[in-house]
Amino acid sequence: MAAGTSPGSRPSCAIFAAWGRRSSGTPFYLTPFLDEGYDVSDHLQVDPRFGKLADIIAFIEQARELGMQVIIELLIQHTSDAHPWFQQARRSPASPYRDYYLWSDNDEDDTPPMFPGVEKSIWTWDDEAGQYYRHMFYRHEPDLNLTSPAVLKEIENIILFWLKLGVSGFRLDAASHLTTQAGNGDEKKGLWILEHMRRLIEEHNPDAILLGEVDVDVETYKDYFGNNDRLNLVLNFWLNKYFYVS
């Protein structure tokens, strides 16, 4: 799919159409690429590996001409540690960006990291900040503070930026983790953030969708749909795991 977001993308669109694909999504944001693009350093810029912003716009327009809708990754559970927000946050406790991330004076937390073979803890000490910062995934991907009004405003800006450029929805990465962060550690209390994003998206494009990467038990999927006011669709991790094992 990365090829489809590079210059001269019409052939790739034609291939997707021939396959009967209705949508496509891949991370193409500016990134150090330490985690295949999931470590974003700017949500409003396109990484040179994938071309320029004009190429993305052309791809969206060409896809629409072929009867396809384009959805893109929405990566808001964490950023890259190279992101300007984090670089500013670590410099001083008084930085306006300090509250964009989750900090602690200790690492006394037994929450297991997502990749225990790589990371021993979800907390890493930062010499410049003089505190530990939280990262559910890799240490180069600090978690965002999704209870911060300033962070929520940044997320709104990201969503609106891409909707205005013509995307038809988003694949919400790490949805179950970000709801936990939005609920101060309580997943169900954090479901409000899905309602907030769904409402914002529908106000600007009623046909756009919010697809969530939800790694929870099947019985819990209903919480992520809500009363048809949270996610439109879920990426079925449960089914995916069984296919993979088989």
Catalytic residue among 109, 173, 202, 229: 173
**Residues paired with residue 170 on neighbouring β-strands, in sequence order:** 72, 210
**Taking Cα atoms as reference points, which of 94, 87, 180 lies closest to residue 142?**
87
Catalytic residue among 47, 73, 154, 213: 213
> What's the CA gap between 240 and 246, in Å, rounded?
10
Is residue 173 part of the annotated active site? The answer reads yes
Question: What DSSP string runs through the chain?
Answer: -GGGGSSS-HHHHHHHHHHT--------EE---SSTT-S-SEEEEE-GGG--HHHHHHHHHHHHHTT----EEE--SB--TTSHHHHHHTT-TT-TTGGGB-EES-----PPPS-TTT-S-SEEEETTTTEEEE-SS-TTSPBB-TT-HHHHHHHHHHHHHHHHTT--EEEETTHHHHHHHHTTT-TGGGTHHHHHHHHHHHHH-TT-EEEEEE-S-GGGHHHHHTTTTS-SEEEEHHHHHHHHH-
**Taking Cα atoms as reference points, which of 193, 198, 204 lies closest to residue 160?**
204
**Residues paired with residue 172 on neighbouring β-strands, in sequence order:** 74, 212
| Residues catalogued as catalytic | 173, 213
